[in-house]
Structure 1
Amino acid sequence: MTQSTNTAFYDRISAELTDIDAQGLTKPERVIASRQGPVISVNGRDVLNFCANNYLGLAGDERVTQAGIRAMEKWGAGTASVRFICGTLEIHKELERAVADYLGFEDAILFAAAFDANGGIFEPLFTEADAIVSDSLNHASIIDGVRLCKAKRYRFATSDMADLEAQLKQARADGAREIIIATDGAFSMDGYIAKLKDIRALADQYGALIMVDDCHATGFMGDKGRGSYAHCGVEVDFVTGTFGKALGGAMGGFICAKANVVALLKQRARPYLFSNALAPAVCGSSLEAIRIAAGEEGDALRKQLFANAARFRSAMTEAGFTLQPGEHPIIPVMLGDAKLAQDMAARMLELGVYVIGFSFPVVPRGQARIRTQMSAAHTFEQIDAAVAAFIQAGKELGVI
């Protein structure tokens, strides 16, 4: 087939991109010329950064950076293979032990990305005899993981316990052998924290397992930052998480569970079996981030993080912005219109504040927003400067 015979395909792709742009849904990629941190270099100038998942401020931390460098110097760039062939290094086992101990589980398994962890957890453990009951606002990676599994699928309205119970009843009535409730611990687009105490009670009542994606909770929610389940004071069966946010900011994911579950996942989870082992530099950086997060310094960083969130939330509310309610360091500024969100983000960058507009399909239509994210590395002065920029841009664009 020649290039000319494919013209219709390429024309269709161009037309779709044009339509995305016309709707204000284009997601620009801005090039950063510095380490991640509260201040970053964009387009040749320093700007305040309020959109990174750098909750504890460790992504650019020199100790975390040097730990990654030392690991690379010892172990090289990588294993050049998957782990079961020739890819398990001592540092992989060390990181699995460290994250399992930190989060209070028997064992852990590493993945190249948290997306892979959620993509790989369901299919090896559950069959067509089982049922998965999933929160309607779960992350795309959970949705894709559920799709790869043959278990019966049920969905409940986000954080709606009456609907969850109805779905559990239906799954039992349909003869499910095992039922697993799957939920984000903290929902990334809204900052809502799952009602895990209520979910735990219903799981006990209906004999269900609980899986929590804690990518936006590990390291800073709950006692010692162990996550949303620690914050809510409950136990769960499986936790998936990432080293790409609070725990160093690089990449890589994990599943924590009982030892026999991890053993089976290492035999059957396709993203684990068919993806290269996690790079040694990522392992080294993540180990250092866990060390910091688990100690007294982690306590101080978490205290600062939530103080920053409270200051920003209070000032923005007083200024007249509509925010999603909550206590999480994710604080969405609701704008509704996709183009307005993009225009607002562009104006904020001109004013020296880096934020991103979120619109469909990342969030539902009509719920476009700027999702701000606080970091322990922010100062009160930086937060106040960001609020001032929001107020100026909001008045110029008719938001407030």
Structure 2
Amino acid sequence: MWNGTDPLRNDTFSCASPSVEGYRYFGVLLGSAVTIVGTIGNILTVLAFATDASLRTRFNVLIVNLALADLLYCTMLQPVSVDSYLHLHWRGGATWCQMFGFLLFLSNSVSIITLCLIAMSRYLVVAHRTSRCARLLLSHRGVAVLLISSWLLGLASFAPLWPVYVFAPQVCTCSFHRSKGRPYTTVLLFLYFFLGLGCVGLFYLLIYRKVRVAAKAFLKYRPSRRSSKLKQAEAEAATDDSGISAGASTTQSCEISNDEAGAKQNRNKAEEKSEGHTTTKEPKNSIQDASKDIETSSKPSPVTIQTTPAAGSGEDSEFKRVTRMCFTVFLCFVGCFAPFLLLNVADKANRAPQVIHMFCANLTWLNSCINPLLYAAMNRQFNQAYKDLLHKAVHPLTWIWRTRRFTTS
């Protein structure tokens, strides 16, 4: 709680303690690394989307929204946290402390909402891509409305807490007061971190089950390898990395047209009659023609197989790789925040050592910088786009260095 006096002379803005005198340097180094890696990585993600036409898909708009939320934290909030750890003191004043707490939870809430939208879009593509609701939500206008709504929902959720954002000495940063904001803060944390992330996990579980069932059905009625390759090439040409088709159908048909079979029968009979008038030789060919007619007439009725985008594309399909990448992003988010949330639930009286609270809070910093690393490692398009952007950024510097070296020599 703050009282409006000079923060440099106010003990409520200090987190100094003998137990964290040495640990603060670890926090400074980690925070500095998060600032550098997160800022560069998320800027590269936004630029890659803006400059690479192959990345400008409706699904990747959600990736960019997640990058913008992380960029807000890395560029504006993380350097302030580094300064607080270095001095073990909040030097920004009471008003900036309130703004810091509000922006912190706004960034986190938008990240969680975007993770929910990513998981939901993956599930709709797999299970309900032909439904009217799915087409509406996954359209360009629908995605734009969802992104704007994610920021408006975050603003509406945490703006009412403006009077209770204070400096928290346990983690040496600004947050909402643990008791003054209740029960509203408890409800928000439950909705976002437990219910929201739980829904994300549920969507990915449903995706896994749907893809597994579809893969088994495809293996049971798999067409020839040649036709599979042709259909896969057509699907890749008409579908973006999100699995949203540009107009091609997802139905794979293993059928022979009855009209074609009937025409073939009539043609064979006409040839047989003409051969009977001209010659009586080669009865073996007549027997073969008759057997072909029998085979044609005895072929099974058409069988239509409904498959998901991943079922007919092979184990290493682009859809599966993108979905696996999104699920990894979700797991990393949970891994970064789970220790901090569990510690706050278990240690309501703040009896745990301060260094434990600070360490668990430091783990949440990693979430804002790890996503671009996952994109580069698990998505070939983002990887290549990052390389091209870095090459363009470094090329002027190498040209200047080579020019100076040439003139000096």
From the two aligned structures, give the one with the greater helix fraction.
2
Structure number with higher strand proportion: 1
Structures share a fold, TM > 0.5?
Answer: no
**Bin of the TM-score, shorter chain as denominator length:** under 0.3
Task: Tell me the TM-score normalised to structure 1 length.
Answer: 0.21
State TM-score, norm by structure 2.
0.21
> Considering only CA atoms, is the larger Rg found in Structure 1 or Structure 2?
2
